[in-house]
Structure 1
């Protein structure tokens, strides 16, 4: 018991929560942070963070919380509008070249809707609206397709053999 009360760690929902609550109990009983870290087999930095959270927000700050994905902050109407904006092409918005990069789409979303996303979430949004991340095929404008085919059939096998 802690000051005559039931120990919070006895009601822990998982191992990580138990360690955080146990660290507080040990600290309240007078144990030093370094000793708590050794006893719980964690870093001193972890103990320091847990105790800081405990002092600032109480035991609830150390409780287990199920991690849920943030819902997309773009409404369906905004997603539909984004699809239309992307169809206009990157050059329409002042970017050199027609390629939409994740960074460019991120900037577009911020400019048009005032919502900031990290790059990985932009990829998720693009997938949801039916766009895929693709690397454009870059070919020289002066490329001679017929000459390229001939070279691949005649010259490349010789070069490949001599390696």
Structure 2
């Protein structure tokens, strides 16, 4: 799992889901677990739910800060 989902063929996004982990366990160990069981096993192993922060690679922090200070207060008032 440390190699990431792409190492196992999931190239469209780089997140481990319960379904992907369950499929990996089934392929590797020939044992099927429910999603709830997989979640419990991962939790017992110390894994936690983490949602990646999605930010554009070309994000302009100064433009964002300017927008938050100037435009957002007007939008929020509505």
TM-score range, shorter chain: 0.7 to 0.9
Of 142, 158, 161, 2:58 maps to 142
Which protein has greater RCO, CA pairs closer than 8 Å, 6+ apart?
A: 2
Of 110, 114, 120, 2:36 maps to 120
The match for 1:98 is: 14
**Partners of 1:101 and 1:152 in 2: how far apart?**
33
What TM-score results when the alignment is normalised by the length of structure 1? 0.45
**Alpha-carbon RMSD:** 1.2
The match for 1:156 is: 72
1:89 aligns with 2:4: yes
Pick the structure with greater CA Rg: 1
The match for 1:109 is: 25
The count of residues paired between Structure 1 and Structure 2 equals: 77
Moved over 4 A (4+): none
Shift of 1:114: 1.0
Bigger helix fraction: 1
Q: Which stretches in structure 2 are left out of the alignment for 5+ residues?
A: none
